[in-house]
Each structure stands twice: as structure tokens, then as C-alpha cells.
Amino acid sequence: MDGFRASSRRSFGLIVLLLAVCAGTAASLLWVPPATGNEAQVQTLAAFMRKKLDASSKILEGITTEDDALIAAGADALLEMSKAEMWNVITDEDYREFNRDFRSSVRKLKDAAEKGNFDNATLQWIDSVKSCVECHKYIRSQRPTLKN
């Protein structure tokens, strides 16, 4: 029975890893530079997006290695970044709802990790990534102009 449980846990971990890699790739591909804005603004936004992906990588690594501190560090970084003006590229109610959902998922992720519930942390991470992808699709559909 222990061998089955270990094998199941490894399989689950691989599935999570594959989903996260696919989702992370999709999220980065979904981001489209705004239709207007100068090159410096686009580069600044691209660097900011890279930091989001770096924080996401910490979370993924923490989930796959069951390292609650790494998950918390990535979650804290994402939560802090979500407060930045650069994060808030649109000010309509739909976008604010995406942000609320994302922050809620990330907080639940961090809480689950701190309690050592890595299965729930994994589910919360998937929910967080789903929020990212949906929001990026929404932003693309709006084709916002960068703030000056």
C-alpha cells in the first residue's frame, strides 16, 4: 500500500508539474504588448511580467518539493506585486473582479501551504493560474493603452 501511495503521489506531482508548465507557458503567450505606448513602457511591463513568472516558478517548485517557505515566498511576491500600479492596467469592474479572485486564490494557496496541506495548495495554485490565464485573455480582448 505504501508503494502505491508513493507512486500515486509521484504521478500526481508530475501531472501538477505538467499542468503548471503548460499554464505558465500559456499565460506568458497570452500577454500581448499594448497597441500603443513607447518602447520603454513596453520593456518595463515585460520586466514586471517576468517577475510574476519568477514568483510563479517559486510556487511551483515549492509545491513539487513540498517546501512551504518557497510557496509562501512566491505567494507573498505575487500579492505584493498585485498592489502595484503597473499591475492594474485596466480600471473597470471586470478587471477588479479578476484581481480579487486572483488574490483570494493566492491567499488560500499560502494558507494551505503553511498548514502543510500540499494537495490543497496544488488545487489553489491551479485556481490561481486559471485566474491569470482568464485575466490575460480579458486584457487582450480590451487591448489597453499603457498608462503614461
The domains of the chain are located at 2-142
pLDDT for residue 68: 96
Domain 2-142 in CATH 3.40.50.300 = no
Best-predicted range by mean pLDDT (19-23, 42-46, 136-140): 136-140
Q: Tell whether the model's pLDDT for residue 129 goes beyond 70.
A: yes
Residue of 58, 96, 51, 50 lying closest to 75 (CA atoms): 58
Where does residue 86 rank: exposed (0-12), middle (13-18), buried (19+ CB within 10 A)?
middle
pLDDT for residue 73: 97
* Percent of the chain clearing pLDDT 90 (strictly above): 47
